Structure 1
């Protein structure tokens, strides 16, 4: 289980509670080859999408992306939204055994080894660089629904009449 599955579970919980929100998978905002990160395409696409959601009255955004808890990325994303959002940042973690098992479900051979190495390096980087106000949620031996319930509780969005 990863950030996308947890994001979908958060979406399901909020929808069930009739909490108006949008879900954007950040990895898809600039998925291209050659890579487009140097042009800020993810931020441009987020700005365009959020403008459309805002025009329809949305005020809550569930945004999933690996590096979105890094201070510079948080700043870029909130600037792209064009307003002053209240951010509840969550870093999902798990133990190495769980990470390896999850990666083995979707990768194999040399790709698996490369993904494990990148995952372990990114985990260390995110843990070291995330601001102290970022919530750390351990996903080891937990279902996406259990993790999503904790994330929703952290946002305070479980009541559809709060934080419009």
Structure 2
């Protein structure tokens, strides 16, 4: 395998993207599958936003490119990338620019009900942003449901263990069977 592959784990706030991403990594490590893990939400975190980039999209891509080039230079070809909207079609071109035009993109959309996401966010958001996170999570859930490409694997997280969810996500990659 010479081309790069990226597993995009997307979903609303409170769905478990980061937790599932780390469990996916644990399974891949146990199977000695070389890979890298990036929390995409951190790639553009700069405040105030850079001038001309109010949504931090360009900054996120620049940072992803820098980090991925370091991984690729060391021979890595698989990336587990968690980010709320990473699965949306508008992000395909960014991954092609960063990882190569022949990058294999695997999209997984984690889903959760409003109740489940709300409970998880209430346990996580202990500061001043809970209401903002709840509203944004509901808005992003609708957007993702409407705009995720047809080839996106949808994985429900309500009432399921992280181990079970991660198993389904890893299976979508076929990385364990092609190593």
Alpha carbons 2:87, 2:148 under 8 Å: kept: yes
1:134 is matched with which residue: 126, 130, 152? 152
What CA deviation, in whole Å up to 9, does each residue of 1:43-63 have, x standing for no partner?
A: 111111111111111111101
Counterpart of 1:86 in structure 2 is: 104
Superposition RMSD in Å: 1.7
TM-score, normalising length from structure 1? 0.91
- Rounded to whole Å, the distance in 2 between the matches of 1:155 and 1:109 is 36
SS in 1 for 2:129: helix
Counterpart of 1:16 in structure 2 is: 30
Counterpart of 1:25 in structure 2 is: 39
SS in 2 for 1:75: helix
1:69 is matched with which residue: 87, 97, 105? 87
- Rounded to whole Å, the distance in 1 between the matches of 2:29 and 2:87 is 24
Structure with the larger RCO, 1 or 2 (CA within 8 Å, 6+ apart): 2
Counterpart of 1:57 in structure 2 is: 75
Structure 1 residues without counterparts, runs of 5 or longer: none
Query: Which structure: greater strand fraction?
Result: 2
Structure 2 residues without counterparts, runs of 5 or longer: 1-14
SS in 1 for 2:144: helix
